[in-house]
Structure formats: structure tokens, C-alpha cells
Structure 1
Amino acid sequence: MAKYDSKSLRNVVVVGHGSTGKTSLCESFLFVSGKTDRLGRVDEGTSTLDHEPEEQKKRISISSATTFVDWHKFKINLVDTPGDSNFSFDTQSCLRIADAALVVLDAVSGVEFQTQKVWEYADDFKLPRMVFINRMDRERANFQTAVATIKDKMDVKVTPICLPIGTHESFRGVIDLLSMQAIIYDDLKGTFKTADIPADQIEEAQTWRETMVEDIAESDEAMMDRYLEAGELTAEELRTGLRTGVNSGALIPVACGSALKNMGTALLMDIITQYLPSPVDRGPVKGVKPGTEEEEIRTPEEGSPFSALVFKTIADPYAGRLTLFRVYSGTLTADVGMYNASHKISERFGNIFFLDGKTQKTTDMVIPGDIAAFAKLKETGTGDTICNEKSPIIYDKVVPPPTIMSFAIEPKSRGDEDKIGSSINRLIEEDPTMRFHRDDQTKEMIISGMGQIHIEVAVEKMRRKFGVEVNLKTPKVPYKETIKAKTNVQGKYKKQSGGRGQYGDCWLDIEPLPRGSGFEFQDKIVGGVIPNQYRPAVEKGIVEAMDEGVVAGYPVVDFKVSLVDGTYHTVDSSEMAFK
């Protein structure tokens, strides 16, 4: 494998709405770069990245996947993310460690709901980004309309730097507005030739180029002055201005093509390597000193103390747990110790891998900015910071959102009941948005997640990975009872059967409390009508009785009881009698 430095790395997370061709675009990267000799296809189940059986069955990405390509001595780390909102946490975690986002749109649909969500996530992390309008070969594909949806629905300014040549069946290439040349594709292998811009598109190309030049000039005050003086920018000024503008977030370039036909892919990889930022361009990163609010800063240099953030965990029943991380500073070499600053523990590891879909490629060292993985770490999970123990730091992590849907879960085989909890806990290791508990009231096992698809996929993984088959059903409603109005009641217990008897007598004021307040007890006894040693027993008796209400036997909640009066017997009264 070629050697790189941090300036030659590009960490790009591919995001967008579902079914816009994100995975197909990554497959096209692999094919056009020469890394694979066959174009992997999602619809045929041959994708390098959508390799999970559940993904091949549903024909959608349900989990992020990483790969990398070598392009003109640059290493492009690609992280392909799910487009379904059920798996948004995974997408957010990947964006957290990226240096840039590649937002993929469908040329027919333009901006869709999940496009807007991932755009907001990228905003949260202040990520430079660019847009790729895919599927220009589709019927009703319209480049200008797709661009307009970005401006209309997200209220942002974007800068097209290429145009399509033809659409639908006539789509055959793109116009590079920077070089003002046409790129014509000869076949479906991504091979192309450069040519003059078609005569019927020269005027259109000139208009779009003028807009592009103005956008680049406006992104920098000094460049704007030169543009106003000369009326044009040199090729070098355009390249420098575009790169600077993209890195600062002032410019969002737009390219186009067809991933399935490998059209526009080579130009897109050129754009990524030339204009998207490297880890060095992104500069120092901030964290905190463990146990304090004191700010710590790390630079993406090999001489800095090692630090990295774990952004994904994969639970594999055979290979064990895989831990994916991005290095922010320093270098990591194999066969050394590693300190988890989030949990204040040390762990040892053996091999370090670069992941290529499901394939693991061993490496001896990981440099600042690169993405890699460990195998079989026991304590380190998603969101943890790993670092040099002598220079600890903790980076911000993405917090899992609350779940929105729950099912009761039961084993198909009686002997599998004990396996359910351990299997789901293994899945939670790789997907922290999943929850599992046993309802104390209904006695059901409850699995919760981000939606029905999310939970169904988890059930399929349980069967495939751990051999546990379960049924999902609607959970029983854990009803509660409460008090509607204030009342005063007497509780009296008297038992005489020869010898010492049992006697307890108390008067209680019972009143409702606001929803969610729970239970409150107050001792209002004045004088010695009930001795002090018996009064706590009254509260204990009430707490035990709360488990089963008088209306339908459900737990009683949100009420207050005041002990106001009572009587006792010097011989027969006891703690048990008052309880």
C-alpha cells in the first residue's frame, strides 16, 4: 500500500436522502480508480460497501461503511452512510470525524427531507461540503431544477462548477467550467476524452462560468478587488479561490454525473483532491482535560501526543468487536498500549486495520488524520476518546437521541429467552440508539429504537449473528391508577386470638398530586396518639399497597398521604400492626 502524509488525506463522508445513489457513487470511485475490476451494484447484491445480508435484502444502506481509494497520489477515505432516518445517529457519528461532506442529490427529486437533515448535521460540525447531482441519465433529470431546490429549500448559495451534456438517454458527459472543456465518456467504464464544448451549449456554459467566477471572487475581499480591476481571474486564482472558499465554508461547489455509468466520477475525485480540505487544512482540534473544563488543543502532526475518537463499533460473532476510529494527532503503531480517556482505562491491541468494506487490511502505523480500526477491544465503544495516557484529552461525542418506538419481544423457542438480552446488548454495542429492558409491571421484554425498520433490522441481525429468533408484538400498556379528589380515611387493624393481640389505628388525608410527581408522605401527628416508632410503618404499608390499586390492580401514582391522627394499644400495638 502506498505511503501518504496528512496533507494527502481526504476524509469525505457521503450523505444524502435514501436511494439517491450514495453507495453506487462510492462503488464507482472504487471502479474508476482501478481498485476494483468490476462495478459493484446495490441492486445485484454485489456492492463492496452494502455487504450486510440485511442491506442486500432491503437494497438500502442500514449501516455506514468505510473504504479508501488512491487517486493521483492522494488517499480518499470514503464513509458511505445510510439515507434512512432510522439510522441518522450513525450518519451523525461519521460526520463528526469527517473533514468534508459530499451531499448526493437525485437529478429528478433534488433536495428531499433527509437531505435537509444531513445538511443540518453538517452545519452542526461546521463541515465544508460539496454537492453531487447524481442520476443525470434518469428520465426527467433536470440539473437546473435540482440546483434550484438547494437554494429554495435550504436557503444556501451553491456554485455549479460543471454542467451536464445532455440528459436521460442522451447524457454523455459534463462541461468543466474551470477549464471550459467538455468531458465526453466513451463507454461505461469511466474512460473519457476531452473535447470542445458542444456549440449548442457554449452560451449556457459561458453564463454559468461567469456566475462561478463571481461567486469565487465574492468569497475573498482581495480577490474581489482584483476581479473588479481586471474583469477576470486567472486559472490559478480560480483554483486558489475555490479551494480557500470551500475550506472556509463560503463556497459550496456542485458537480454532476451518473454513478451507475461511471460518468463524472473521475472529475469528482479530482475536485475532492484539489478543493476539499485535508486534516492539516482543518487545523487544530479542541477537547477538554479529563475531569475538568480546561481546554486542550491537538494539532494534526506526527510529533503531537496521540489522540483519536471512536466513531463506530461493529459486533462480529466471529471476528469479535471491531472499533473504528479517526486519528486527530500523533501516530499509532501496532503492538502498543492504548489509553481510553473517557473511561480512564488502558487496553492492549494487536493488529490495526484499514477497512475496505468488510475486508480488513493490516497496517503497522496510522498517521494524523487517517481512519482505521482495532479488533477485540473489550471496553472501548462508540464516542470514546483514546489517547496517550501522559497527555489525556476528551473530545466531544455525538449523544444518542431518545428512542421513538418500542415493541415487546419474545423468543420463538423457550430455550432462547436467556439469549435475548445478551444478543441485544451485543447489538447495542454497535448501535447505541437501541434500548432494551424488562418492564417491571407487564413483565415483558421491551426493545426500543428509532423506528420500525430499525427494530426489524435488529431482529434480523439477532437471528443471523447470534442464532436467536424472536417475535415482535405490541407492548401491553402499563396502566396506572391515581387519586381523583382529596379524602380522609381510617385504617384500623385489630386482631385478638388469646394472649397478645394486634392493634393499629390511623387516620390519613389522601390527595392527588400533579402528573409525574410520584408519592409523598407527611407525618402530621401532634402529641403521642401514635408513638414515633410506629409512624414509619404506616408509610411502609402505604408503599407496599401502592403496587396494586383498588380499581383494577394497577400501581397507584401521583398522590400525597398525610398521617393526621390515630390510636394505639400499649400491649397489642406493633410496627407490623400499623403497617
Structure 2
Amino acid sequence: MRTVHPLPAVRTVRTVRNLGILAHVDAGKTTVTERILYVTGVTYKRGEVHDGTTVTDFDPQERDRGITIFAAAVSCDWDGHRLNLIDTPGHVDFSDEVERSLRVLDGAVAVFDAVAGVEPQSESVWRQADRHGVPRIAFVNKLDRAGADLDTAVASIHDRLHVVPLVVQLPIGREDGFTGVVDLLRMRALTWRAGGAAYEDGEVPGGLREEAGRRRRLLEETVAGLHQAALEEFCADGRLTEATLRTALRDLTRTGEGVVVLCGSAYRDRGIEPLLDAVVAYLPSPLDVPPVRTAADPRQPFAALVFKVAASATGRLTYVRVYEGTLRKGDTVLDARAGRTERVGRILRVQADRHVDVDRAVAGDIVAVVGVKAAGAGATLCDPAAPLVLEPPGTAEPVVTVAVEARRSGDTERLAAALARLVEEDPSLTVRTDPETGQTVLSGMGELHLEVAVEKVRRAHGLEVGVGRPQVAHRETVVRGVAGWVHRHVKQDGGAGQFAQVVIDVEPHDEDFVFVSAVTGGRVPREYVRAVEAGCRDALAEGPLGGHRVTGLRVTLTDGATHVKDSSEAAFRAAGRFALRDALRAGGTVLLEPVAEVTVTVPGDAVGAVLGDLAARRGRVTGQSARAGTAVLTATVPLAELFGYATRLRGRTQGRGTFTARAGGYARVPDGVR
């Protein structure tokens, strides 16, 4: 039986783990988080998603819809360590919430469904973690489900994520008979009784000893092939000790060369304690990540990154990850990007929607502060005497828009204020006024994202809001190059003149925008080259075809000319803007539309109807396979054609079909389609 040790009175940064729980929607991510809180003693009753009693999914919309929408932070203690967990959304529309969370995390647990394996959004969040260099361990969940198979799930991790899985457990029993796991490092059996609060540690069952031995040997061989010290011991002794395996697994996890895989059933409370042990053993502490100035030293000048802003009953909550130094209640901090100071009135340890006041936060902590009035997500808060700007998390461009208006004319100003607060809390939303119609336009990452946003305005502010039909955000791109385009910018208005001449080549490119200078002989000074690039970026805002943003091109500055008195950065910026604008008009652009990669799971007898419907929606089927008596179809479909698809799919499959989608970039709109 496992004993939970209390947190030491004096905590060090080494005993902190800042981790996220990542997964595809419905993989059991929130249930894993709830069981972690229960096992560590934070809660005394198991929270259930289907009952609406979870700690982390506390927002009314989350409980109504049964999904995670907003990242929630909680803390717990395990084996002398403080674990700061962020439960992230699994739906593709809220991927920016995941992005902001990953920016401040040191490690993550990726949760996979033992039946479905790696699903589309699993792959997306995995790639997001790759971009941020976040080490991960994997937890294959729902081993008690019909059709669950650890080996199949592990194969999908290997094949779809292109990583080396290091499986450290063997399931005991299958599907409904799943009762525990064999720990392959200690060669011990861990079993859980129905409704039991702790596991029993015993001998490996006789029928599994041979298989456990084979898998332990396979684990040793795989680790030896990736880790130099392990290879030396394996060659010398023909085996690896438990201590060597643990050290090697820790190193491989943190370098990303391998991914430790555990398994269990969170809903049935099986496998959570070994998962927590793995978090402590293999995921990094703040001291193990690249330092900002020094390695997470509480004695250094204070520096923290804002990753989330939320309204609450206690006021505006600003969530921060402290990277260096110590923050105390009442301190004055600098918003480094804005150049203004803010006073911290309170510091809160966050447990989802519950908060506990603390006197200070030190390097490695994730806390919320009250009193910071203007700093938004991505801002750096630091010691005014030691300014520092941390890299903010990226924000994806919105792809779906709706027009919104107040039902009552007297509520127009209230709606504007509510939308402004909404955008402050969620930077992936944007609000603008359409210059032609005068309508207020709300843009976001998907249909569900906008539904949630509008419903939040209705509930939080008591407003009656009218919403128009969703529209997708188009783009424009070039299809043929334009070489040697010359633009001479000359302006005389009685004062100092403006003169700039540029020569540019424009050609299609795989990236969003690339600017290159090929000017020789100093014909365009370096500071003017930067101004030309800025002008070209200005021109990308509105394309010649329909005023949409232009993407997918490379601009090369090949030549230019200056005037000894009248040339300036402003003149060359204007020249760059007009040159690219005119070159795009001359070369012509084509319209692009956002597309989604869709995975549809349907009964076998409904495949024909679903394929026909996908074709009618201009979908391109990319794959078809069978899984547990159902058909799984993958297709690329224009995002505009997916509005209302969930209802249509249920109708064509008698309610048995489901689908998931993830962003698939942009594709050219066929001629005749607008």
C-alpha cells in the first residue's frame, strides 16, 4: 500500500513539477486530473465529468457541454513534491488555450484512449508541445473499455507521432477484467480492488511472468540503443539494473529521444499512483529547463510571464509563471512591453475556481495575482530595476467570423464593453467593425469557439445578443511570380521631400511570408532595407482580389536607389508598400479558404451515405479503415462546409456517427465557388 508523504516545510525549486494534461477530446484527460486530485488528498470525493462535479471543469458551459473549454490550474502534493497542474482543452477550437499553457509548462502528460489510440487533436497538441520543447510522458487510458489494447495504442504513438515509446508497464487483465499493471522496472504487480482507495503491491502472477520478462528485456534493449551509459552497462553485464533504467528513462524523456508509456483506467481509479511516481521521476523541475538569466533562482530579480487573464468574483485575475526571483504581496512590478508599472495587491494559489491567499511566490511557481490592471496574456512582469522581456506565446489567426449585435439598442455600449473584456481574456478572439456594413464582427478559431464566446457574454453580462451566420476568413496568394518590379516613390510638398526607389521580385513560397535582400554595393542602406520589409508587410494586410490578407509569398529586394537629402526610412517603407501592392495587382492573386482534416467514425452500413455527403461538401477522402466494428473515414473538407455538420451526421447515422476536426491550413478555392 502506498503512503502519501506530506510536502516538506521548506520547499525547493527542485521539488516542483509544472505540468499540463494534454489529450484529444474525450480521451479522459479531465478524469485523470480529477483522480490525481483525489489520490493526493486535495478532494475527498471523485469528481465526474458526466455528473458535472469536476473541480477543473467548473464553468457552467463546461459542465453543460461535458468538455473542457478553459485551461484550469490546480496544485497538489505527492511524495514530497509540489505538482502544479494545468488541465487543458481537448477540442481543436480551443488550441490557443493549450498554446498559452504550454508556454509556461516544464512537462506534460499526454493521455490517449486505449481503443482509439492517437486521434487528430492528440497529434495536434503533441506537435504544439514539440514546438515548445516540453518533455512528455504518455498515459494510455480506458484500458477497461471493450476493444482496448495497449499494444495497438502504443503502435499508433510510434507510427503517428514518430517517437520511440518506452513501455514500462504490462496490463493485468483485458477490457472489463483489467485490474492492474505489472511494473516492469521493479517486476512487481500493482492491483486495485473495485472501489479501493489504494493499490496492492505483490508478486507478478504466474501466467504473466514470461511475458513480463520478455517485455522487460525489450525495454532494456530499446533504452540501451538510445542511451550511452545504459549501452555500456548492457554490453558489460547483458542487462540493466533498475537504477540505470530509471536514470536513462529520465534522461531520454527530457531530451525527447523517448517517451515513457504507462497505462490504466482513470475512471476506475487504476494506474494513477504509478503515473504520479513517473511525473516526479521523469519530468523536469524548473531547474532543468533553459534558464532566463539564471536557473530559476529565487534570489535573482523578479521575472514572470502572464499566460492567462480571467474575471472572477475577486476581481481581475492575472495568471503568471514565475521564472526568476520572488514576488511579494504589495510589490510594484514593471510590464516590460508596455513600459508601465503595476502594483500586486494579492497573490493567490489557485485550485480551479477556488483561491488561497499566499504572501509570496518564488521562481518555479504558477500563481494568480490581483491588482494588475492592464497586462494581458504574453506580457512580462519584472523587477523595475532589472527590465526583461520574455518571449510571449504565439496566437493563431482567427478563421471563422460572425456578426453580433445587441437586441436592445440601449445595450450597444454594454455589448462593446463585454466583447472587449472577452478579447482581453482570450487573445485568439478578435473584434472589429466592418467598414462597409457598420456591423460588429467577432472572429475566432471555430464555430464552437464563437458559440461559447457569445454564450459567455449572454450569461456573464445578462445581454440579449443576435448572431449572424458564421463566415470563414479567406486569404489570397500569388500563383505566378513577378520579376524586376520597379517602384519610385517621390513626394514634394514644400518641406523636406521623400525619395525612394526599390526593385523587387515576387514569387510563391511555402511559408507565410519571406523577405530577402539581394542588394549589393550598398545601393540600399541596411536601415532602409528593414523599412522596405516593413512596408511589404503592410501591403499584406489587403490583397487585390477581395481585400483579404495575402500569404504564401517570397519577396526579394534586388536593387534600389537613394537621394542624398530626401531618402528616409518612411520613404522606403512607403515604397515597399506600394511596390508590393502594385506587383500583386499585376501578377494576380487567387482566393484561399481554410480547410479542416476531418476524422469521421460511423457504423459500417452508413459509410456510403457519409461518403456521399462528404463529396457534396467538397470533401476529399484521404483514408478509410475499420476499427472495432465501425468504419473510420479521414478527409480534408473546407471549413465553411462543416457548419452544422454534426447535426447532419447524426441524422444520416441514426445518432451513431461522430466526427472530429483539426485545422488543415488553407487550400485554393475552385473556380466558380465563392
Equivalent of residue 214 in structure 1, options 191, 215, 221? 221
User: Between Structure 1 and Structure 2, how many residues are aligned?
Assistant: 475
**SS state at 2:17 partner:** strand
Residue number in structure 2 paired with 1:335: 330
Residue number in structure 1 paired with 2:19: 12
Residue number in structure 2 paired with 1:502: none
Cα displacement string for residues 91-126 of structure 1 (whole angstroms, at most 9, x for unaligned residues): 011111111111000011000101111111111011
Residue number in structure 2 paired with 1:112: 119
Between the aligned partners of 1:110 and 1:475, the Cα distance in structure 2 is 32
Residue number in structure 1 paired with 2:161: 154
Kindly state the Cα deviation for residue 283 of structure 1 after the two structures are TM-superposed.
4.1
Cα displacement string for residues 235-270 of structure 1 (whole angstroms, at most 9, x for unaligned residues): 221222221221222221000111111110011101
Kindly state the Cα deviation for residue 412 of structure 1 after the two structures are TM-superposed.
2.4
Structure 1: which amino acid aligns with 2:360? M
Between the aligned partners of 1:477 and 1:459, the Cα distance in structure 2 is 17
Residue number in structure 2 paired with 1:573: none
**SS state at 2:384 partner:** coil
Between the aligned partners of 2:193 and 2:83, the Cα distance in structure 1 is 25
Equivalent of residue 303 in structure 2, options 290, 303, 307? 307
Equivalent of residue 23 in structure 1, options 25, 30, 38? 30
Q: Does 1:345 align with 2:345?
A: no
Equivalent of residue 433 in structure 2, options 434, 438, 461? 438
Structure 1: which amino acid aligns with 2:545? R
Q: Which structure's CA Rg is the greater one?
A: 1
Structure 2: which amino acid aligns with 1:354? R
Between the aligned partners of 1:208 and 1:223, the Cα distance in structure 2 is 17
Classify 1:477/1:160 alpha carbon distance in 2 versus 1 (closer, same or farther; 3 Å): closer
Residue number in structure 1 paired with 2:409: 414
Asked if the contact 2:343–2:371 (Cα under 8 Å) also holds between the matched residues in 1, the reply is no
Classify 1:368/1:514 alpha carbon distance in 2 versus 1 (closer, same or farther; 3 Å): closer
**SS state at 2:309 partner:** strand
Asked if the contact 1:89–1:400 (Cα under 8 Å) also holds between the matched residues in 2, the reply is yes
Between the aligned partners of 1:155 and 1:477, the Cα distance in structure 2 is 32
The answer for unaligned runs of 5 or more in structure 2 is 1-6, 474-542, 549-584, 587-674
Classify 1:517/1:358 alpha carbon distance in 2 versus 1 (closer, same or farther; 3 Å): closer
Between the aligned partners of 2:361 and 2:251, the Cα distance in structure 1 is 27
Between the aligned partners of 1:32 and 1:192, the Cα distance in structure 2 is 11
Q: Under a length normalisation based on structure 1, what TM-score does the superposition of the two structures give? A: 0.79
Classify 1:428/1:476 alpha carbon distance in 2 versus 1 (closer, same or farther; 3 Å): closer
Residue number in structure 2 paired with 1:322: 317
**SS state at 1:420 partner:** helix
Between the aligned partners of 1:244 and 1:476, the Cα distance in structure 2 is 48
Matches within 5 A, 1:370-409: 370-409=365-404
Kindly state the Cα deviation for residue 68 of structure 1 after the two structures are TM-superposed.
1.0
Equivalent of residue 180 in structure 2, options 173, 181, 188? 173
Between the aligned partners of 1:33 and 1:55, the Cα distance in structure 2 is 24
Between the aligned partners of 1:242 and 1:190, the Cα distance in structure 2 is 28
Classify 1:264/1:215 alpha carbon distance in 2 versus 1 (closer, same or farther; 3 Å): same
Residue number in structure 1 paired with 2:260: 253
Between the aligned partners of 1:215 and 1:107, the Cα distance in structure 2 is 22
Between the aligned partners of 1:72 and 1:228, the Cα distance in structure 2 is 34
Kindly state the Cα deviation for residue 3 of structure 1 after the two structures are TM-superposed.
4.2
Structure 2: which amino acid aligns with 1:304? Q
Between the aligned partners of 1:516 and 1:107, the Cα distance in structure 2 is 47
Residue number in structure 2 paired with 1:536: none
**SS state at 1:327 partner:** strand
Between the aligned partners of 1:51 and 1:476, the Cα distance in structure 2 is 30
Kindly state the Cα deviation for residue 414 of structure 1 after the two structures are TM-superposed.
2.6
Residue number in structure 2 paired with 1:288: none
Asked if the contact 1:315–1:427 (Cα under 8 Å) also holds between the matched residues in 2, the reply is no
Matches within 5 A, 1:452-491: 452-474=447-469
Between the aligned partners of 2:454 and 2:544, the Cα distance in structure 1 is 39
**SS state at 1:40 partner:** coil
Residue number in structure 2 paired with 1:69: 76
Cα displacement string for residues 141-182 of structure 1 (whole angstroms, at most 9, x for unaligned residues): 111100010111122111011121112210111111110111
Equivalent of residue 128 in structure 2, options 121, 133, 137? 121
Classify 1:73/1:414 alpha carbon distance in 2 versus 1 (closer, same or farther; 3 Å): same
Kindly state the Cα deviation for residue 72 of structure 1 after the two structures are TM-superposed.
1.2
Asked if the contact 2:401–2:471 (Cα under 8 Å) also holds between the matched residues in 1, the reply is no
Between the aligned partners of 1:463 and 1:168, the Cα distance in structure 2 is 44
Equivalent of residue 103 in structure 1, options 110, 118, 125? 110
**SS state at 1:301 partner:** coil
Residue number in structure 2 paired with 1:57: 64
Asked if the contact 1:215–1:251 (Cα under 8 Å) also holds between the matched residues in 2, the reply is no
Asked if the contact 2:447–2:470 (Cα under 8 Å) also holds between the matched residues in 1, the reply is no
Kindly state the Cα deviation for residue 196 of structure 1 after the two structures are TM-superposed.
1.4
Asked if the contact 2:91–2:121 (Cα under 8 Å) also holds between the matched residues in 1, the reply is yes
Cα displacement string for residues 202-239 of structure 1 (whole angstroms, at most 9, x for unaligned residues): 22211211121123223321321121111112222122
Kindly state the Cα deviation for residue 35 of structure 1 after the two structures are TM-superposed.
1.4
Residue number in structure 2 paired with 1:525: none
Percent identity of paired positions between Structure 1 and Structure 2 = 36
Structure 2: which amino acid aligns with 1:174? V
Matches within 5 A, 1:223-372: 223-285=230-292, 297-316=293-312, 318-372=313-367
Between the aligned partners of 1:469 and 1:104, the Cα distance in structure 2 is 39
Asked if the contact 1:412–1:470 (Cα under 8 Å) also holds between the matched residues in 2, the reply is yes
Between the aligned partners of 1:83 and 1:475, the Cα distance in structure 2 is 22
Asked if the contact 2:166–2:219 (Cα under 8 Å) also holds between the matched residues in 1, the reply is yes
Residue number in structure 2 paired with 1:79: 86
Kindly state the Cα deviation for residue 320 of structure 1 after the two structures are TM-superposed.
2.0
Residue number in structure 1 paired with 2:613: none
Structure 2: which amino acid aligns with 1:41? E
Classify 1:222/1:457 alpha carbon distance in 2 versus 1 (closer, same or farther; 3 Å): same
Asked if the contact 1:315–1:429 (Cα under 8 Å) also holds between the matched residues in 2, the reply is no
Residue number in structure 1 paired with 2:99: 92
Structure 2: which amino acid aligns with 1:340? D
Classify 1:388/1:156 alpha carbon distance in 2 versus 1 (closer, same or farther; 3 Å): same
Compare 239-248 and 446-455 and name the one that shifted more: 239-248
Classify 1:170/1:251 alpha carbon distance in 2 versus 1 (closer, same or farther; 3 Å): same
Between the aligned partners of 2:369 and 2:167, the Cα distance in structure 1 is 40
Between the aligned partners of 1:452 and 1:59, the Cα distance in structure 2 is 17
Residue number in structure 2 paired with 1:515: 545
Between the aligned partners of 1:208 and 1:392, the Cα distance in structure 2 is 53
Between the aligned partners of 1:516 and 1:334, the Cα distance in structure 2 is 52
The answer for unaligned runs of 5 or more in structure 1 is 286-296, 479-512, 519-557, 560-579
Structure 2: which amino acid aligns with 1:515? L
User: Aligned-pair RMSD on alpha carbons?
Assistant: 2.1
Between the aligned partners of 1:175 and 1:103, the Cα distance in structure 2 is 21
Kindly state the Cα deviation for residue 300 of structure 1 after the two structures are TM-superposed.
0.7
**Runs of 4+ that moved beyond 4 A:** 475-478
